[in-house]
Amino acid sequence: MSRTIIVSNRLPTKVQRTAESLTFQPSEGGLATGLGSIYRQEGNVWVGWPGLFVEDEAEEQHIEQELSADSMAPVFLTEAEIRDFYEGFSNSTLWPTFHYFPQYATYEQAHWDAYVAVNEKFCRAVLELAGPEDTIWVHDYQLLLLPEMLRNARPECTIGFFLHIPFPSYELIRALPWRSELLRGMLGADLIGFHTFGYMRHFLSATSQLLGHSSQNGQIETPNRTVLVDAFPMGIDYGRFVAAAASEQAQQHEAEYREALRDTRIILSIDRLDYSKGIAERLRAFEVLIQRYPEWREQVSLIMVVVPSRDQVAQYAALKEEIDEIVGRINAQYRTISWTPIHYFYRSFPLEELASLYRLAEVALVTPMRDGMNLVAKEFVASKADGKGVLILSERAGAARELSDALIINPTDTAQLAEAMHDALVMPEEEQVHRMTAMQALVRQYDVFAWTKLFMDRLAYSKIKQLTLATE
């Protein structure tokens, strides 16, 4: 029987250490939901890091047992690997480069060495489980070398790779000392998927200019194999967000919040803490809004949720301080006894509370500097049962390629963003509903299950195509 193995840096369950014991928390993330029906099938498995440093073997065994009961196989990372592979090469070299922040990128040989070593570690973990005929689906920038490593060990395997972040212009890629190795690593796959055609074009350009490979119709010719490349815009579990927003709990929370906020109109912003998200620029734009349109003071508040992330990486710690400072300054300058301009939360929220925030908000601000896709934009759309509400979306989020009925803005243009907030607040209901229902139809149809199926079907097709070419 042929099996499917999913591989990503993080497992869809987060293991955490409390004072007395370990806790196992299933992830609410879109990927976990979308692939849930696959990796939980008989014989299939998800390979990844459980997200914490484990010192002793007994604890490793305990984690392994718990996770294997739910079709997961952990890859443990040492403290040095967490520092050099995860915080280092993945999040201080690749992440800033791929998000057009090359000034934040570091180029450390030791980080590269750890990246190679951890990709090899993942390779060994997969090989222990995979037979020669199995299908392996590798995810994201932490594992760019894995497809080639797997290909060398198991030439017959079907290997898919999907990149969840942007693939940048060749000009950014060429700055990386290890650029050719990284591209060759990805090319070990049979099928490489991106969120947009733009990212795919950048990849084709990079492989052509750096490796000299020609391509036609999304088919790259390497010296010994053909690799398919395509765009698969990722979706969300639409039904889950509709249900969460309609739940008794979400409605109750919403009523409580409305009362506490005395019916102030709400603009909402939800992100992981990251410089790619444009959080500081968004805050400045909100300030411009209340400066230019003083009539919104005491009428409109920004609820800003920032989810802690990668706090051991210097840029993230610095950004946290910058955000604290801007929020403090704006609130101190404009607040009144009965009105707080910005309600700022630095933590994550459970799904029902998020759903109640989506219900409450009239406007959602999704204004990253760069974002592979951005699923918050889609979650907001799914949560608006009555069709009312306005999405303000950065032209540099992958989601902007699909959600053209949002108010599309350039996130560095603070004045334009402030105007978009004003326009959203005065938009007639009829226009809101018109735009929102068009976006809902799209997000409903291309949900995460459709995304998974499209990718898996295309991967199976790519293998058949390889075999036909080989026998011709």
Catalytic entry in 237, 271, 371, 447: 371
Residue 340 tokens, joined:
């707080």
Size of interface with ligand G6P, in residues (CB under 6 A): 7
Q: Which is nearer to ligand G6P, 140 or 254 (CB)?
A: 140
Q: Which is nearer to ligand G6P, 76 or 334 (CB)?
A: 76
Contacts of 183 (CB under 8 A, 6+ apart): 173, 206, 207, 210, 211
What's the rounded Cα separation, in Å, for the pair 195 and 413? Answer: 25
| Residue 24, H or E segment | strand 22-26
137-176 residues near ligand G6P, rule: CB under 6 A: 140, 164-165
Q: Which is nearer to ligand G6P, 271 or 287 (CB)?
A: 271
What's the rounded Cα separation, in Å, for the pair 9 and 48? Answer: 5
Q: Which is nearer to ligand G6P, 299 or 309 (CB)?
A: 309
Shortest distance (Å) from residue 182 CB to ligand G6P: 16
Is 371 annotated in the active site?
yes
**Is residue 94 close enough to count as binding ligand G6P by CB under 6 A?**
no
Instruction: Return the residue nearest ligand G6P (CB atom).
Output: 164
Shortest distance (Å) from residue 11 CB to ligand G6P: 10
Q: Which is nearer to ligand G6P, 10 or 384 (CB)?
A: 10
Shortest distance (Å) from residue 163 CB to ligand G6P: 8
Shortest distance (Å) from residue 142 CB to ligand G6P: 6
Residue 154 tokens, joined:
């198991």
Contact string 280-319 vs ligand G6P (x = CB under 6 A): -----------------------------xx---------
3-state secondary structure of 23: strand
Specify the residue for token string 């079709």.
71
Q: Which is nearer to ligand G6P, 9 or 269 (CB)?
A: 9
Q: Are 343 and 301 in contact (CB under 8 A)?
A: yes
Residue 426 tokens, joined:
């005065």
Shortest distance (Å) from residue 391 CB to ligand G6P: 20
Q: Looking at the DSSP assignment, which residues form a beta bridge with residue 343?
A: 303
Shortest distance (Å) from residue 138 CB to ligand G6P: 12
3-state secondary structure of 462: helix
Q: Are 6 and 32 in contact (CB under 8 A)?
A: no
What's the rounded Cα separation, in Å, for the pair 133 and 136? Answer: 10
Contacts of 56 (CB under 8 A, 6+ apart): none
Q: Looking at the DSSP assignment, which residues form a beta bridge with residue 219?
A: 216, 228
3-state secondary structure of 397: strand
Q: Which is nearer to ligand G6P, 93 or 301 (CB)?
A: 93
4-33 residues near ligand G6P, rule: CB under 6 A: 9-10
- Between strands 22-26 and 13-17, the pairing is antiparallel
Catalytic entry in 111, 164, 253, 343: 164
Q: Are 193 and 232 in contact (CB under 8 A)?
A: yes
Contacts of 92 (CB under 8 A, 6+ apart): 104, 105, 106, 111, 313, 315
Shortest distance (Å) from residue 57 CB to ligand G6P: 25
Shortest distance (Å) from residue 403 CB to ligand G6P: 18
Write the CA distances from 143 to 65, 128, 193, 206, integer angstroms: 25, 17, 14, 18
Q: Are 233 and 446 in contact (CB under 8 A)?
A: yes
DSSP 93-147: IIHHHHTT-GGG----HHHHHHHHHHHHHHHHHHHHH--TT-EEEEESGGGTTHH
Q: Which is nearer to ligand G6P, 9 or 462 (CB)?
A: 9
Nearest to 6 by CA among 145, 92, 129: 129
Residue 58 tokens, joined:
């007994």
Is 164 annotated in the active site?
yes
**What residues act catalytically?**
164, 371
Q: Which residues bind ligand G6P (CB under 6 A)?
A: 9-10, 140, 164-165, 309-310
